[in-house]
Amino acid sequence: MAAQRARNLAVETLDDGFLDERRARLQVVVDRVAPMALAQEQTLPVNPLLASLLPDGALRRGSVIGVGGSGSVLLALSLAAAASQSGSWIAMVGGTEIGFVAAAEAGIALERVLVIAPQPDTWSSSVAALVGSVDVVLVSPTHQVREPDARRLAARLRERGSVLLHTGNKWPIGADVQLDIVSSKWNGLGNGHGVLRSRQVTVAGTGRGSAARPRSLELLLPGPTGAPVPVEPV
């Protein structure tokens, strides 16, 4: 009888140790998954004028947003402006087409901006270092981004919760949200005279999942002060 009780105790002790190990492993998985789930639920604010272009009416953390067409950099800056004004840091990665004057006029808080221009061989690692360190990463690559690098960056975004805005046509995979300026017309010029005051544009949006529904918006980008403003009815 004593021997049987000893064997039962040994089995219970082994089971407890086995369960503790399993619980510890499960906790590691939970700790890794929880930030990713939280990142998908959180959003960053956006200019209310642009909210209808986004499925959540805001910038969804962990997402990739593509911006195309003439004036894409200004539209990307305008999308990031409200987050910048609310305290988020913005990293701008790319060439000289991203200017401080345009960024300030679009509403970017310049005191919370990082600007880097890495070489193509260090571009992906530089962007990966920024993901999770700043809330919004705006990239305008001048070289063709490799598809494996783009997929690794997209996975890192989902894990760390940053938002990536890319302009141009060098990003090789589909974006979660794609916004394209499909038409534009400058205002202010007369017959041989005048000053450019604003540009009226039409932005078309699509994407994946909840962003797949086509949508469009007309606005002045830039408006008279540089920031986007609604189109006044005629």
Q: What percent of the chain has pLDDT over 70?
A: 76
Same domain for 120 and 34, yes or no, is no
Q: For residue 209, is it within any domain?
A: no
| pLDDT score of 74 | 93
Same domain for 58 and 99, yes or no, is yes
Q: For residue 163, is it within any domain?
A: yes
Same domain for 117 and 171, yes or no, is yes
Per-residue pLDDT tens over the stretch 81-126: 999 999 999 999 975 567 788 899 999 999 999 999 899 999 999 9
Q: For residue 219, is it within any domain?
A: no
Per-residue pLDDT tens over the stretch 171-226: 999 999 999 999 988 877 666 556 777 889 999 999 998 888 999 999 999 888 88
Supply the mean pLDDT for the chain. Answer: 84
| Three-class SS state of 17 | helix
Same domain for 26 and 109, yes or no, is no
Distance in angstroms (rounded) separating the CA atoms of residues 87 and 54: 21
Same domain for 150 and 79, yes or no, is yes
Is the Cβ–Cβ distance between 62 and 155 less than 8 Å? no
Residue 12 has pLDDT above 90, yes or no: no
Name beta bridge partners: 189.
194
Q: For residue 189, is it within any domain?
A: no
Same domain for 23 and 117, yes or no, is no
Same domain for 14 and 109, yes or no, is no
Same domain for 26 and 55, yes or no, is no
| pLDDT score of 186 | 83
**Of 132, 153, 175, which residue sits at a domain end?**
175
Tokens of residue 8, six digits: 């039962």
Output the domain CATH number for residue 134: 3.40.50.300
- Where residue 3 falls among pLDDT bands split at 50, 70, 90? low
Distance in angstroms (rounded) separating the CA atoms of residues 123 and 71: 23
Q: For residue 5, is it within any domain?
A: yes
| pLDDT score of 15 | 54
Q: Which domain holds residue 64?
A: 43-175
Same domain for 171 and 60, yes or no, is yes
Same domain for 26 and 56, yes or no, is no
Tokens of residue 98, six digits: 């991203």
Sign, CA torsion 98/101/102/104: positive
CB count in 10 Å sphere of residue 220: 20
| pLDDT score of 187 | 79
Q: For residue 216, is it within any domain?
A: no
| pLDDT score of 166 | 96
What single letter denotes the amino acid at residue 130?
L
Same domain for 163 and 59, yes or no, is yes
Q: Please give the tally of structural domains in the chain.
A: 2
Comparing 106-110, 132-136, 225-229, the range with the smallest average pLDDT is 225-229
| Three-class SS state of 190 | coil
What single letter denotes the amino acid at residue 162?
S
- Where residue 128 falls among pLDDT bands split at 50, 70, 90? very high
Same domain for 63 and 113, yes or no, is yes
